[in-house]
Structure 1
Amino acid sequence: MHVMQYEITLPADYDMGIIRTRVATRGHLLDTFPGLGIKAYLIRERGEHSPVNQYAPLYLWKAPEGMNAFLWGTGFQGIVDDFGRPEVQHWTGLSYAEGPASAALPRTATRHRAPIPTSVAPADAVEAALEESVTSAKAPGAVATALAVDPRHWELLHFTLWEHDAPEAPGERYELLHLSMPERERLGEGRQW
């Protein structure tokens, strides 16, 4: 599994209705995209839970072929044409799990990025993060959760989809506008090695 996200931070006075309309009219285009496990169309609006307006879709890819087909095809070019070329962040998948609300359509998501301290062995940090991810996956209202790592920057990423409002937790909270999940069942439960 590969996790990918780009963040498009928008002006403070930006009409987020534009993004909502974009997702409502185009989101379905990836509902059958080969190799895509999940695409969560995420936004943050400036206010109580966010300092910025942001469109920040997050993808869980089964294999790099699907991710490459998207990045080098017409899908990503639409983002580039409309917003410029954003930095694409990507992480190697460590685990994926369905939660007790897996049959529900999620409304919110959380993302927490955490550095792996140089004083901690990478394998120990990953094992601890896996335990935390298992706990998150069992939380009431959890639809699905993924754990990934960026070994270039030694950073862990915890991502969870929630049936209702995301619980208070470290990291960013997002509203989910649409969920494409053509190959969700192929992401594979549990540890990815």
Structure 2
Amino acid sequence: MIGMQYKVMLPSDYDMNIIRKRVKENGAKTDRFQGLHFKAYLITENGNDNNIYNSYSPLYIWNSHSGMNTFLFEGYYDNILKSFGWQRINIGIPLYCKLNKNFPDSLYAIEITGSIQETTSLAASLMENQPSLELKNEIVGETCIYNPDKWCYSHICFFREKPENLQNIGTIYEVLHVSIGE
């Protein structure tokens, strides 16, 4: 599996309804996309949930590199290039990916990022460094993606309802659509 995310930073006065409309009209195009495990269409909005910027930040989990390559190099990603210009794509390896049957109904996600400290053994070190979430029973999907090139991780949890008690420990995203691949 491969994790992939680009974060398109938008001006603070950008009308985020433009992104909502874009996803409403086009989000289903990645439903059943070959090689895709899932894609979550994520946004942050300046002033909501302690966010200080507007962003469009879709998260992809690919089952293999071939699906990701098809998406990037066979014209699908060109829509991002045309609309938002050249974007830096963050790549990582999922340590795990747990999805409940109601995962596609996710409306919010929280991303908690951190660094993996130098150690003499990596066994269980990443799991020990992740913050404990008080709302574990409300999580409908969860993944942890690490990057051994930068020794960092992103722990992302998905919810059907807004996680009110977690506003100060990570970035809260609104989930506009979830595509499940083939």
TM-score between both structures, scaled by the size of structure 1: 0.84
Show the 5 A alignment for 1:65-144.
65-99=66-100, 102-103=101-102, 105-119=105-119, 121-128=121-128, 139-144=136-141
Aligned partners of 2:171, 2:120: CA distance in 1, in Å? 24
Which of 139, 144, 150 in structure 2 is aligned with 1:147?
A: 144
Aligned partners of 1:77, 1:171: CA distance in 2, in Å? 30
Distance 1:120 1:157, change over 3 A: farther
Task: Quote how far apart the aligned CAs of 1:127 are.
Answer: 4.2
Task: Quote how far apart the aligned CAs of 1:118 are.
Answer: 2.5
The 4+ residue runs of structure 1 with deviation greater than 4 A are none
Task: Quote how far apart the aligned CAs of 1:182 are.
Answer: 2.1
- The share of aligned pairs that are identical, in percent, is 32
Give the structure 1 partner of residue 155 of structure 2.
158
1:109-152: CA deviation from partner (whole Å, max 9, x where unpaired): 111110012257433423425xx59x76x822211101121000
Give the structure 2 partner of residue 37 of structure 1.
37
In the alignment, structure 1 residue 182 sits paired with structure 2 residue 176: no
Q: Which amino acid aligns with 1:148?
A: I
Distance 1:11 1:149, change over 3 A: same
Aligned partners of 1:149, 1:3: CA distance in 2, in Å? 9
Task: Quote how far apart the aligned CAs of 1:163 are.
Answer: 1.1
The RMSD of aligned alpha carbons is 2.0
Aligned partners of 2:74, 2:140: CA distance in 1, in Å? 30
Distance 1:127 1:106, change over 3 A: closer
Aligned residues: 177
Unpaired runs of 5+ residues, structure 1, are: 184-193
Aligned partners of 1:68, 1:164: CA distance in 2, in Å? 33
Aligned partners of 2:158, 2:126: CA distance in 1, in Å? 21
Q: Which amino acid aligns with 2:46?
A: R
**For structure 1, which segment, 119-128 or 143-152, has the greater mean C-alpha deviation from structure 2 after superposition?**
119-128
Aligned partners of 1:9, 1:164: CA distance in 2, in Å? 25
Q: Which amino acid aligns with 2:77?
A: F
Unpaired runs of 5+ residues, structure 2, are: none
Q: Is the 8 A contact 1:116 1:122 kept in 2?
A: no
What SS class does the counterpart of residue 15 from structure 1 fall into? Answer: coil
Give the structure 1 partner of residue 12 of structure 2.
12
Aligned partners of 1:108, 1:47: CA distance in 2, in Å? 16
Aligned partners of 1:154, 1:120: CA distance in 2, in Å? 14
